[in-house]
């Protein structure tokens, strides 16, 4: 099973840049979109259905904002939107899909870059999401938690880490949250296969950051340790350009 997570920074904008043709060529089994920025009626599901995908969306109440989606070549056995907490579910940030013994959770973690209030919201969301995952793993131990976490975990995951101190996305408390997440038996699938520096998944639109590869690795597939022996590969598709992010991939038996 090939699973791709991709922050498209607006699904309609990405489609205008050839997203559908890329999907047709890549043929993932499951495709998790973040930051769809669209209500269900604004997304032409037929575009994806003609490619052979079942489409499920969880949109924010606010139009043109946030939102996640899961496309799959076979229908999920069960789909659940949100984490059961209205403070965060109004922003359409989490979508769960079960396939046999495997559960895929697509998450779009809030950004805290706009100021203290949103940073506090981000940390509160992370605490609530942590509880949600802990509870989910009791019933569904084989988890893949994928998406845009808006956090660089280690200095290797960000350009010039010495310049990023005090910047949202690389704050000590955010990185410590990922440390705790990992300590509970969740593994960063990409780093099981690739320990090289300068492997990024997001670049600012400013200053030619992408051409200079001045990026951040903030998009992940975190897998539960029960799945480690079933993971075959993980990669970042840096040459794919429909967004300021690029897709990240994991392949699993």
**Residue-range definition of the domain harbouring residue 17:** 2-252
Among 158, 196, 152, smallest CA distance to 178 is for: 152
The two tokens of residue 36 are 């769809």
CB neighbour class for 225 (10 Å; exposed up to 12, middle 13-18, buried from 19): middle
| pTM score above 0.95 | yes
Cβ(146)–Cβ(105) under 8 Å?
A: yes
Domains identified in the chain, total number:
1
* 9 within 8 A of 37, measured Cβ to Cβ: yes
Residues 173-193 have pLDDT tens digits of 999 999 999 999 999 999 999
Give the chain's end-to-end CA distance (angstroms, integer): 6
Task: Look up residue 155 and give its two tokens.
Answer: 């200095």
* CATH number of the structural domain spanning residue 247: 3.60.10.10
Render each residue's pLDDT in the chain as its tens digit; 253 residues. 999 999 999 999 999 999 999 999 999 999 999 999 999 999 999 999 999 999 999 999 999 999 999 999 999 999 999 999 999 999 999 999 999 999 999 999 999 999 999 999 999 999 999 999 999 999 999 999 999 999 999 999 999 999 999 999 999 999 999 999 999 999 999 999 999 999 999 999 999 999 999 999 999 999 999 999 999 999 999 999 999 999 999 999 9
Catalytic residue among 148, 188, 219, 244: 148
Active site residue 148: yes
């Amino acid at each position: 099973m090939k699973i791709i997570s991709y922050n498209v920074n607006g699904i309609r904008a990405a489609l205008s840049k050839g997203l559908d043709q890329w999907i047709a060529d890549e043929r993932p089994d499951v495709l998790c979109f973040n930051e769809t920025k669209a209500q269900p009626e604004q997304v032409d599901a037929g575009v994806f259905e003609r490619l052979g995908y079942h489409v499920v969306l969880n949109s924010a109440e606010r139009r043109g904002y946030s939102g996640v989606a899961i496309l799959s070549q076979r229908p999920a056995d069960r789909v659940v939107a949100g984490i059961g907490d209205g403070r965060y579910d109004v922003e359409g940030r989490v979508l769960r899909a079960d396939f046999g013994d495997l559960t895929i959770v697509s998450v779009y973690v809030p950004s805290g870059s706009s100021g203290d209030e949103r940073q506090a919201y981000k940390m509160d969301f992370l605490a609530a999401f942590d509880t949600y995952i802990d509870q989910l793993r009791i019933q569904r131990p084989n988890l893949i938690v994928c998406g845009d976490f808006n956090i660089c975990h280690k200095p290797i995951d960000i350009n010039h880490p010495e310049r990023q101190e005090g910047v949202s996305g690389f704050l000590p408390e955010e990185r410590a949250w990922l440390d705790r997440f990992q300590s509970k038996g969740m593994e960063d699938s990409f780093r099981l296969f690739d320990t090289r520096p300068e492997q990024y998944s997001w670049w600012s639109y400013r200053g030619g950051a992408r051409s200079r590869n001045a990026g951040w690795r903030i998009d992940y597939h975190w897998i539960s340790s029960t799945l480690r022996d079933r993971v075959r590969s993980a990669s970042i598709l840096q040459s794919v350009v429909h967004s300021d992010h690029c897709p990240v991939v994991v392949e699993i038996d």
